[in-house]
Amino acid sequence: MGNICSKSANKDDNFSSPGRPLGADSDAPQPARAPVPQQKLTSSTPGRTLGSAGGNGRSSPDDARSAAARAAEERAAAKNKSGGKLSTSLAAQKKQTQNQTLNAGSEQERQARTADANAETRNWN
């Protein structure tokens, strides 16, 4: 099947000239493009090592050791601080053995049952 709306004489005319960008007029001349300027990448200072404060740009192993020791001391000091009533009771609970924890739970349950029995006795009609 062929295209019935075109003439065979028109087929070669469509592609006889070079193409052009969309939206451009065929009669208007294209503007000349400026060359991209080349940039020189220079640095006045050497780079810094990651984590260094500056200065010469390099940190010595002694600086890293002293910083690690300082951080460890701060963590130890923060760990030894008392956090208040809640943290004190949590620390005491952590020190309990399993038997002590079970005995404390059963004692609380006995006290709750005794309180319920006393309330029922008072409210007896």
Low-confidence ranges of the chain (pLDDT < 50): 57
Cβ neighbours of residue 24 closer than 8 Å, sequence gap 6 or more: 30
State the Cα–Cα distance between residues 101 and 88, nearest whole angstrom: 16
Write the pLDDT tens digit of every residue in 14-50: 666 677 667 666 566 666 777 777 777 666 666 667 7
**Res 7: pLDDT:** 59
- Nearest-angstrom CA–CA distance, 6 and 4: 6
Burial of 13-44, coded b for 16+ CB within 10 Å and e otherwise, reads eeeeeeeeeeeeeeeeeeeeeeeeeeeeeeee
Contact predicate 72/80, CB 8 Å: no
**What does the pLDDT read at residue 100?**
92
Q: What are the residue boundaries of the structural domains of the chain, listed by start?
A: 97-125
